[in-house]
Structures are given as structure tokens and as C-alpha cells.
């Protein structure tokens, strides 16, 4: 066996064919149910569907995902807990991947790859995208109000300016299914992608059919785009107040550290002053 070929398989730069996998299993003496299971994975199917092992940071998983995205004619996304992948700003994406990727260079590469994916919903070749976002995704899960402010402002702006992307907020408990993306292909067939920690499942045929009903229930439960815009405006205002309060607390702490004196407490700014020290956005 060529060592370079093995290295390519390990790094996800090439996917071994079923014939190559069978050869390796034969050389290793793998037989029975274990061999049958591994061969099932090698063929990329489990019934009519298949999955990619590893997180989205894994090259093979990422390649499989973008292969579907780039040939889709439309996409519908349900994101109950986090902002959809395709709508994440860079700093938010770093917070999402950060706990699992401690290497900064690797993290930067993964974030860049995620941002590269959004070409399917932005730009001249954008495809129609319906984004249903759960109420839990609006919470500051990562404890960074400034990043959340930039992210929520981005979503708010998209509602007003994007012709391809439709954003609608819905209760995170509106449906029982977890996060998924449904890609409609050129032959009008559907592929449903369900991300999991450490794997991604792709459903087609009969296994994808139930998600049509799920999307219909989301349509019924979700706010309209206009109502979603109003709700996001409230969230942005709340985050802006939180950011300003944090900045005042930081300034007060520095003042006390440098002078040894207790800082004076300013009154909360009025509505007319709400834009005086507004943080910059992406």
C-alpha cells in the first residue's frame, strides 16, 4: 500500500473507494459483521441515506456538505439553538468552534471555510434560502455581548436588504426535530442534512419526506419576516445596553485602579443618547 495514499485517506484529502477499503480489510483479516458495517460506511449509504464521520471541521465531512450546497437550487434551514451556519459572522463562528479547536491556525482555517460556504446565499449566484431561527439562538450563550450584538445586527440587516434570504423566528420548541437543512436539487429531489457532534447525516428518498411536514409546521409557528425584524430590533437594543453597561463598568474599574478613588456613577443614558458610544460592527 502506498504510504502517500494512506496519508491522503487519513487527512481526508481523498476518500477511499469501496474496492480499496475491501482490500485493506482483507489484508487486516477483518471479517463478519464488522467488515459488513465498514463496507456499508465505505459505500456511503445506510439504506438510501448516508453519513459523514467527524465534525464540519473534518475535510471529508466539509467536502460532502459543500458538494450538496453548491448544486442545490434552494435551501430551507431550521436552527433551533444557534445562528445558522450560512449566516454566522466570523467572530460568532469562532465562538461556535472554539471549544473544540484550540489551535488558532486550524480555527482560522475552519472559520474561513465556513464563511466561504455562504456564497450560495449571497452574491450574484445566490439561491433562495428560508431560514427558520429558534428563539434560543437569540440568547447570549457564549457570554460575549459584543459578538452577539454584531451577529444580531447582521441578521436584522439581512431581513431588510437580502432578496435571497428570508429570516423568520420561531419558538425553539415549535418542532421536535433538531437542526437540519433541506437542499432541493436540480432534479427536484430533496436531501436533508442533519448535523450532529462528530458526524453529519444525509437523508434522501423516503427518509427525507417527513421533513416536508416539519417545515410546514415551522411555517405555521414562525413569526412573519416583519415580526421577526421587530423582535430582532428589541434583541439588538437589549444587547446594546448590555455592551454599554459592561464598558462603563470596565472604565469605572480602571479609574479606581489608577486613582484609588471610587468612581462616580453616571445616570443611565436616555433614548436620545443611545447611539453616542455605539460599538462598531462587522
Q: Grid cell 410546514 — which residue?
A: 216
Q: What is the pLDDT of residue 45?
A: 43
Q: Hey, what CATH topology would domain 45-238 get?
A: Endonuclease; Chain A (3.30.870)
Query: Which among 182, 165, 195, 223 is positioned nearest to 56, based on CA atoms?
Result: 195
Q: What is the pLDDT of residue 2?
A: 78
| Whole-structure pTM value | 0.74
Q: What is the pLDDT of residue 32?
A: 84
Please answer whether residues 239 and 150 qualify as being in contact, where contact means their C-beta atoms are separated by less than 8 angstroms: no
What average pLDDT values come out for the chain (282 residues) when binned by 10 residues? 73 67 87 74 57 80 86 96 96 85 82 89 92 96 94 95 95 95 91 89 91 98 97 97 90 78 58 47 46
Q: What is the pLDDT of residue 168?
A: 98
Taking the C-alpha atoms of residue 39 and residue 207, their distance in angstroms, rounded to an integer, is: 21
3-state DSSP call for residue 169? strand
Query: Which among 18, 20, 27 is positioned nearest to 5, based on CA atoms?
Result: 20
Q: How many helices (H) and strands (E) does the chain have?
A: 9, 7
Please answer whether residues 152 and 235 qualify as being in contact, where contact means their C-beta atoms are separated by less than 8 angstroms: yes
Amino acid at each position: 500500500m502506498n504510504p502517500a495514499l494512506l496519508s491522503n485517506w487519513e487527512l481526508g484529502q481523498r476518500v477511499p473507494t469501496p474496492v480499496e477499503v475491501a482490500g485493506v480489510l482483507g489484508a487486516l483479516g477483518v471479517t463478519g459483521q464488522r467488515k459488513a458495517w465498514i463496507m456499508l460506511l465505505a459505500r456511503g449509504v445506510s439504506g438510501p441515506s448516508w453519513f459523514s464521520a467527524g465534525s464540519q471541521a473534518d475535510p471529508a465531512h466539509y467536502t460532502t456538505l459543500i458538494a450538496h450546497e453548491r448544486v442545490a437550487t434552494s435551501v430551507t434551514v431550521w436552527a433551533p439553538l444557534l445562528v445558522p451556519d450560512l449566516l454566522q459572522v466570523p467572530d460568532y463562528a469562532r465562538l461556535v468552534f472554539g471549544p473544540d479547536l484550540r489551535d488558532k491556525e486550524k480555527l482560522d482555517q475552519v472559520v474561513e471555510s465556513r464563511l466561504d460556504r455562504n456564497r450560495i446565499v449571497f452574491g450574484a449566484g445566490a439561491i433562495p434560502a428560508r431560514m427558520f431561527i429558534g428563539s434560543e439562538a437569540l440568547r447570549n450563550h457564549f457570554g460575549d455581548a459584543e459578538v452577539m450584538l454584531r451577529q444580531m445586527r447582521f441578521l436584522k440587516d439581512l431581513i431588510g436588504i437580502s432578496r435571497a434570504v428570508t429570516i423568520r423566528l420561531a419558538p425553539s420548541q415549535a418542532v421536535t426535530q433538531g437542526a437540519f437543512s433541506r437542499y432541493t436539487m436540480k432534479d427536484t429531489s430533496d436531501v436533508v442534512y442533519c448535523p450532529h457532534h462528530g458526524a453529519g447525516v444525509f437523508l434522501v428518498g423516503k427518509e427525507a419526506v417527513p421533513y416536508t411536514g416539519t417545515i410546514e409546521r415551522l411555517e405555521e409557528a414562525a413569526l412573519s419576516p416583519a415580526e421577526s425584524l421587530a423582535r430582532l430590533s428589541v434583541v439588538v437594543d437589549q444587547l446594546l445596553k448590555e455592551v454599554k453597561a459592561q464598558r462603563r463598568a470596565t472604565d469605572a474599574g480602571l479609574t479606581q485602579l489608577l486613582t484609588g478613588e471610587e468612581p462616580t456613577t453616571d445616570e443611565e443614558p436616555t433614548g436620545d443618547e443611545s447611539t453616542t458610544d455605539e460599538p462598531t460592527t462587522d
